[in-house]
Amino acid sequence: MIKQSLRKPLLICLLYILIPLILGSIAGIWIKLSIFVLTAIIYGIMLVFMIPSDVFFSSTLDYNIKSVNPSYKHETPDYIGGTKQQLINFAVVALGLVVCLLLILLN
């Protein structure tokens, strides 16, 4: 039962690692650029889209609402930043980006 529940998150983490590498190597053949540069670009784009939307925009939105309605009270959210699996996926993509950037610097 435990193995069955771990299989899907591990497969998703593996896909977060393998898909940018495959896309970077295929694009590297056509563009004649290092595989790691293209993979780092893909990881960077993925990282931008994986940032939770409420992290940066909640304080600006609260300020704008307070300027219109001073008696506005913000409801506290249940959680900020996503679930544990989303944070693990974010960490995997961030680690992939760091590894690619280190490999670019070493070459």
Q: What is the mean pLDDT of the chain?
A: 82
Please check whether residue 74 lies inside any domain of the structure. Answer: no
Residue 97 CB-density burial (10 A; 0-12 exposed, 13-18 middle, 19+ buried): buried
DSSP conformation class of 51: S
| pLDDT of 102 over the 70 cut | yes
Q: Which pTM value belongs to this model?
A: 0.71
Q: Count how many domains the chain has.
A: 1
Please give the average per-residue pLDDT across 51-70, as a whole number.
Answer: 64
- Give me the domain span that covers residue 37: 13-49+83-106
100 within some domain: yes
- The answer to whether residues 14 and 96 touch, using CB atoms and an 8 Å cutoff, is no
- The C-alpha atoms of residue 43 and residue 14 are separated, in whole angstroms, by 14
User: In the structure encoding, which two tokens stand for residue 3, read together?
Assistant: 């193995």
Q: Is the pLDDT of residue 82 over 80?
A: no
